[in-house]
Amino acid sequence: MTNSTAHPTIDNLHIAAFHPMPTPDEIQARLPLSERAARTVENGRAEMIRILTGADTRRFVVVGPCSIHDPVAGLDYARRLKVLADEVSDVLMIVMRVYFEKPRTTVGWKGYINDPHMDDSFRIDEGIALGRQFLLQVNELGLPAGSEALDPISPQYLGDLIAWNAIGARTTESQTHREMSSGLSTPVGFKNGTNGDVSIAINAILSAARPHRFLGINGDGQVAIVHTTGNPYGHLVLRGGDGRPNYDTVSVSLAEQAMIKAKLTPNIVVDCSHANSYKKPELQPLVMSDVVSQIVAGNRSIVGVMIESNLVAGNQSIQSDPAKMTYGCSVTDACVDWASTESMIREAAQRLRSVLQTKD
């Protein structure tokens, strides 16, 4: 469908077509929030806020595939993670990483929402519904979900099923994403810039804590002026930068000082992947162990960690024939396997039980 009012010589010169999308209300009516899923989201957000405000001394772990591409394998992972989450819930709050949108440095597969069939058909209308269906299934297990808020329209479709959001290193400096974050219903982790600069994320936290007004859509799919109240639960995610890690005690201390100078509570999450592990998944357990050692030694600013994990280690290329692809293996960043994930989380829980006030 094309815009009939466009002037053919000056307007939409690089637009091939406009295809209508179902509205957020239509998608939510088709896939309504169940009572159990709503309770999982509500409890997950509340627990996260208690950790960020110091009312709960546990730490949280956002763990899961770099991206969801196979919902069957993703749900298999979620079921295993739920069992592990219950096992360590006295000291760790587990949130499943459910990423549907992938920012690319240049080009590449943009994620399950953008191209759910991984064949360049770009059925975004199907992807948004499939993404919501998957989130419903995860939450109905009793497992809260965390995601990256990339497209400013997607939260209207999926936001009621998310307990935690991240703003990525490429978008933390974006005014659009700072404004969007000010209206998100979840705590939001802002990653430091790709060059390792934490001031970009600190400025984002400050900006998102303020009210904003900007263009967005409402449940009817109508363009609207969005008025936000500001999000008080922004925090810093250290993910390394320029090929160098920044999870060491000196880097964490400098980040703490920078946040305190900005009059922010020094809440820090360490991403065990990306530059912090030199993009080598086998190094993620070492990063995790070091971070736990800092907490055991008395650090109180590190409130959580992120782990890129899947059923099978490593990653793979997308194949035209899905049957030729390895079940449970990432198609984006390489991940640690399930056995390593269990070991990392169990070891962390065991060590933290000696220093944290456990939850009954």
- The pLDDT tens digits of the residues spanning 44-61 come to 999 999 999 999 999 999
Query: Could you give the 3-state DSSP secondary structure of residue 112?
Result: coil
First to last CA, the chain: 57
Cα distances from 9 to residues 4, 6, 14, 15, 197, in angstroms, run: 13, 9, 11, 12, 43
Boundaries of every domain in the chain: 24-47+59-352
Query: Could you give the 3-state DSSP secondary structure of residue 39?
Result: helix
Which residue, 273, 275, 310, is CA-closest to 288? Answer: 273
Contact between 220 and 157 under an 8 Å Cβ cutoff? The reply is: no
Which residue, 77, 74, 103, 75, is CA-closest to 332? Answer: 103
Q: What percent of the chain has pLDDT over 70?
A: 96
pLDDT attached to residue 74: 98
pLDDT attached to residue 69: 96
Phi, psi (degrees; rounded to nearest 5) at 284: -60, -40
Cα–Cα distance measured from residue 133 to residue 222, given in angstroms and rounded to the nearest whole number: 23
Predicted confidence (pLDDT) at residue 3 exceeds the cutoff of 90 = no
Contact between 95 and 51 under an 8 Å Cβ cutoff? The reply is: no
Which region holds residue 138: left if phi is over 0, alpha if psi is between -120 and 50, else beta? Answer: alpha
Which residue, 23, 90, 32, is CA-closest to 357? Answer: 90
pLDDT attached to residue 207: 98
Predicted confidence (pLDDT) at residue 351 exceeds the cutoff of 70 = yes
pLDDT attached to residue 1: 45
Class of domain 24-47+59-352: alpha beta
Contact between 285 and 307 under an 8 Å Cβ cutoff? The reply is: no
Per the model's pLDDT, the better-predicted residue between 18 and 360 turns out to be 18
The one-character DSSP state at 64 is: E
Against a cut of 0.85, is the pTM above it?
Answer: yes
Average pLDDT over residues 339-358: 94
Alpha helices per DSSP H over the chain: 24-30, 35-52, 71-87, 124-140, 155-158, 175-183, 198-208, 249-261, 284-296, 338-352
**302-306, 307-311, 331-335, 355-359, range with the lowest pLDDT:** 355-359
Predicted confidence (pLDDT) at residue 2 exceeds the cutoff of 60 = no
Average pLDDT over residues 247-273: 98
Tokens of 88: 């360590």
What tens digit of pLDDT does each residue of 148-197 get?
Answer: 999 999 999 999 999 999 999 999 999 999 999 999 999 999 999 999 99
Burial zone of 250 (CB within 10 Å; 0-12 exposed, 13-18 middle, 19+ buried): exposed
Cα–Cα distance measured from residue 95 to residue 104, given in angstroms and rounded to the nearest whole number: 24
pLDDT attached to residue 7: 72
What tens digit of pLDDT does each residue of 277-326 get?
Answer: 999 999 999 999 999 999 999 999 999 999 999 999 999 999 999 899 99
Cα–Cα–Cα angle for 201, 207, 213, nearest 5°?
Answer: 140
Cα–Cα distance measured from residue 203 to residue 191, given in angstroms and rounded to the nearest whole number: 11
Cα–Cα distance measured from residue 46 to residue 187, given in angstroms and rounded to the nearest whole number: 10
What tens digit of pLDDT does each residue of 78-111 get?
Answer: 999 999 999 999 999 999 999 998 765 556 788 9
Tokens of 336: 């640690």
What tens digit of pLDDT does each residue of 21-48 get?
Answer: 999 999 999 999 999 999 999 999 999 9
Q: What is the mean pLDDT of the chain?
A: 95
